[in-house]
Amino acid sequence: MKYTVVSREQLPQVEELWDYCFEKRQEPFFQYYFTQYCCQQNIVMGAFDEEQQLKSMVHVNPYRLRVRGAEQLVPYLVGVATAPEARGAHIVKPLLQTTLASLRAQGVNFVTLMPIFAGIYLPYEFSYCYYRHAYKLPLAALTLPRVDARLMVKRVPLAAELLAPLYASCLRDVNGVPVRSDEQWQKLLTVHAQEGVLCAVCQREGANVGYMLYTISAGVFHVHELLAEDAQAKNRLLQFAATHQSSAQELSWLAEPWDKTYLHFNDQSATGSVAPFMMARCLNVKLALEQLENVNAALKGGVVLQVTDKLLGGVTLEVQLADGCVQAQTVQALPEVSMGVGAFTQLYFGTFSADELWEAGLIECREVEKLQLLDEFLPKARTYVNEYF
């Protein structure tokens, strides 16, 4: 097999494999993706046989995320697929290895992906870094408290100039979120418009304080994105959803993992549950640590950290903290803290604390004080993402 970047001339093979594995050619997203985006705004890595036939692929879509207060390029891997006749030949591993090594050489520290089946990626040390609270309940069970009478809901056209300021303000203190540029908003809303997504905004005395993107289909009121500046605005938008019982019987909504809307529900069977949503993987531990910003200047100390990586090769680092900076030097020394690259990614993304990962058996530590140091400069965070393509 030859593992290389797909050329524009080879794009028809990519389309054929996508049609076989994912959306069909006639569907709106397929039409948008292959006429306006694929091989224009992203790259595709492919595995080709001796006859130059595409047998496996991974699409590398550029995203910028705000992680630990700093904006960085974190590509989103999508469309990982293998032709049926090549399945079982173990070509995904070298394809991913080639892709990730190439990205690391370009200075990329992390990638993300949304797994159809996580078991495909766990052996390659991708780990759960984003969670969502999944609600699926009868609209009639959506019991909510009274809200401020000044809160009004309006249906409005999809417009980035309206939604972008709310997106930025509602997620300003949240970790791991995509930084949506004008181009990202255009891509998102173009696909939403083709798929019939509707928009409602919540206003308080004329000022926009929240929005909800939604569709109604097959008796389901599906919330695609709901962001609000406070609980009252969020509940007002959900009350708007509840008024649709003549056209939908069920609500489907992936809320933030810390959402507490269910505390108002009369029916405990409707409270939903928190479940994994997206995975991530670190490609360069040393560079990721050295590029950390907003580190508490009062923190001092060090730790010999070992991070194993079966795919790209591990590293042992002497990490020193001083004056708000992190220095990481490669050393040959007995580690004080050891973990796999998957656990390191979860720690860096703020999904779990070092103590939680240690309790789960994912970190080995000879001194409790070193765990405390990790938790101080890589504290647990509110980590959230809502991107599907």
66-88 pLDDT, tens digit per residue, is 999 999 999 999 999 999 999 99
219 and 179 in contact (C-beta within 8 Å)? no
Question: Which of 276, 300, 316 corresponds to the end of one domain?
Answer: 276
Question: Which of 276, 296, 313 corresponds to the end of one domain?
Answer: 276
What is the mean predicted confidence (pLDDT) over 41-47? 97
Strands 43-48 and 54-61: antiparallel
Written as six digits, the tokens of 140 are 């009639």
Q: What is the pLDDT of residue 42?
A: 96
Contacts of 24 (CB under 8 A, 6+ apart): 30
pLDDT at 351 over 90: yes
The pLDDT tens digits of the residues spanning 368-378 come to: 899 999 999 99
Query: If pLDDT is split at 50, 70 and 90, which confidence band does 388 have?
Result: confident
Instruction: Flag whether 162 is in a domain.
Output: yes
- Residue 153: which CATH number? 3.40.630.30
Q: What is the largest CA-CA distance in the chain?
A: 68
Instruction: Flag whether 118 is in a domain.
Output: no
Task: Please count the other Cβ atoms lying within 10 Å of the Cβ belonging to residue 150.
Answer: 11
Residues 172, 269, single domain; the answer is yes
Instruction: Flag whether 289 is in a domain.
Output: yes
Residues 62, 160, single domain; the answer is no
Q: What is the pLDDT of residue 154?
A: 97
pLDDT at 389 over 90: no
- Residue 350: which CATH number? 3.30.1050.10
Q: Name which of 238, 214, 251 is nearest 153 in CA terms.
A: 238
Residues 144, 261, single domain; the answer is yes
Q: What is the pLDDT of residue 366?
A: 85
Q: Residue 348: which domain range? A: 284-377
Provide the whole-model pTM.
Answer: 0.95
Q: What is the pLDDT of residue 140?
A: 94
The pLDDT tens digits of the residues spanning 252-292 come to: 999 999 999 999 999 999 999 999 999 999 999 999 999 99
The pLDDT tens digits of the residues spanning 205-235 come to: 999 999 999 999 999 999 999 999 999 999 9
Q: What is the pLDDT of residue 175?
A: 97
Residues 208, 252, single domain; the answer is yes
Residues 251, 290, single domain; the answer is no
For helices 160-170 and 182-194, what crossing angle results, to 10°? Answer: 120
Q: Which helix (H) or strand (E) holds 365?
A: strand 363-365
Instruction: Flag whether 332 is in a domain.
Output: yes
Q: What is the pLDDT of residue 355?
A: 96
Give the integer Cα–Cα distance in Å for 125 and 290.
22
Residues 141, 255, single domain; the answer is yes
Total domain count for the chain? 3
Instruction: Flag whether 155 is in a domain.
Output: yes
Residues 261, 165, single domain; the answer is yes
Our CA angle for 97, 46, 4, nearest 5°, is: 75
pLDDT at 293 over 90: no
Identify the three-state secondary structure at position 150: coil
Task: Please count the other Cβ atoms lying within 10 Å of the Cβ belonging to residue 171.
Answer: 21
Q: What is the pLDDT of residue 296?
A: 87
pLDDT at 356 over 90: yes
Instruction: Flag whether 86 is in a domain.
Output: yes
Residues 182, 71, single domain; the answer is no
| Side-chain-facing half-sphere of 272: CA atoms under 13 Å | 27
Q: What is the pLDDT of residue 281?
A: 98
Q: What is the pLDDT of residue 47?
A: 98
Q: Name which of 261, 251, 196, 252 is nearest 228 in CA terms.
A: 261
Residues 293, 262, single domain; the answer is no
Query: If pLDDT is split at 50, 70 and 90, which confidence band does 294 have?
Result: confident
Q: What is the pLDDT of residue 367?
A: 87
Q: Exposed, middle or buried: residue 67 (CB in 10 Å: 0-12, 13-18, 19+)?
A: buried
* Backbone φ and ψ of 109, nearest 5°: -95, -30
The pLDDT tens digits of the residues spanning 165-194 come to: 999 999 999 999 999 999 999 999 999 999
Query: If pLDDT is split at 50, 70 and 90, which confidence band does 100 have?
Result: very high
Rounded to the nearest angstrom, the gap between the alpha carbon of residue 306 and the centroid of all alpha carbons in its chain is: 26
Give the integer Cα–Cα distance in Å for 389 and 375.
32
Residues 193, 290, single domain; the answer is no
